[in-house]
Structure 1
Amino acid sequence: MTEQKPIKVYVKVDDQSRITAVGSSIFITDPTGWVQIDEGYGDHYAHAQSQYFDSLTTGDGVYKYKLEGSGAVERSADEIAADVAAKPSPAPTAQEDADALLVDHEYRLTLLELGV
């Protein structure tokens, strides 16, 4: 009988050690660029995406966890707030662009009517 190998749990991190992805050795065939955080037997390890974190990001799309040493820890509220503040402003929507053009048009017409 063949001895079963333990399932390894990996995370991928960005340049600031924020965890951006999680997976197990069942699905990750090339662990290059991944960091192992755990190993064992059973569904808990096999289905790491649903077992280790409730969600990797906040509602704002900011990563909630970081790699510290060889384990994952939740980032502080201050760290998350700093990431939210550093996010660029979203591009205006088509409706916002149209509204801005309409306001500009009305402004120019008013100036013409006033003879300014």
Structure 2
Amino acid sequence: MQENKIKVYIKIDENNCIININSSIFLDDIKDYIQIDEGDGDKYSHAQGNYLEKGLINSKGRYNYKYVDNKVIELTEEEKEKLFPPVPVQPTPQELLNSKLLMDNANIQLELDNQKKLNADLLLKMAQLGGVTNV
């Protein structure tokens, strides 16, 4: 009796970083994939979430593993920095508009505060003059 083991496949990029992992259960076409293991259980059948200890991608969106000499090897932080440098985030048009509106609002508040101060100074001077004004 032949045992049907579940195969685990990976896909790598030009730097040998593992960019995809899946099991034979979910892959119809294994072209460009490399078989790295086979077995039974969740580790093999649900390889995307269970096979790699730290998962395929870290919280910064960087791949965690490479495939070298038929072995899955964890990338160091230095390798990740070199292979996946941070991309500066460009604000969206809506974020730019929101920023401008907030700045305009702050400037209006400052002008209003300055006007209140001027009004208070005028009222103080009027009070010092006895509250009498020539009209």
Provide TM-score, normalisation by structure 1. 0.73
Alignment correspondent of 2:70? 70
Give runs of ≥4 in structure 1 deviating > 3 Å: 100-103
- Following superposition, the deviation at residue 95 of structure 1 comes to 4.8
The answer to whether the Cα contact below 8 Å between 1:36 and 1:70 also exists between their aligned partners in 2 is no
Q: How many residues align?
A: 103
CA distance in 2, matches of 1:70, 1:101: 56
Task: Tell me if 1:5 matches 2:17.
Answer: no
CA distance in 2, matches of 1:30, 1:101: 52
Q: Deviations over 1:9-34 (max 9, x none)?
A: 00111111111111111111211011
- Following superposition, the deviation at residue 46 of structure 1 comes to 1.3
Alignment correspondent of 1:47? 46
Q: Which runs of 5+ in 2 are unaligned?
A: 108-135
- Following superposition, the deviation at residue 76 of structure 1 comes to 1.0
CA distance in 2, matches of 1:89, 1:3: 54
Larger-Rg structure = 2
CA distance in 1, matches of 2:86, 2:101: 26
Greater mean alpha carbon deviation, residues 17-26 or residues 94-103 = 94-103
CA distance in 2, matches of 1:59, 1:42: 27
Local SS of the residue matching 2:79: helix
The answer to whether the Cα contact below 8 Å between 2:57 and 2:64 also exists between their aligned partners in 1 is yes
Q: Which has the higher contact order (CA 8 A, sep 6+)?
A: 1
Higher helix share: 2
Q: Deviations over 1:76-97 (max 9, x none)?
A: 111112234x343122133542
Local SS of the residue matching 2:60: coil
Alignment correspondent of 1:19? 18
Tell me the percent identity.
36
Q: Which runs of 5+ in 1 are unaligned?
A: 107-116
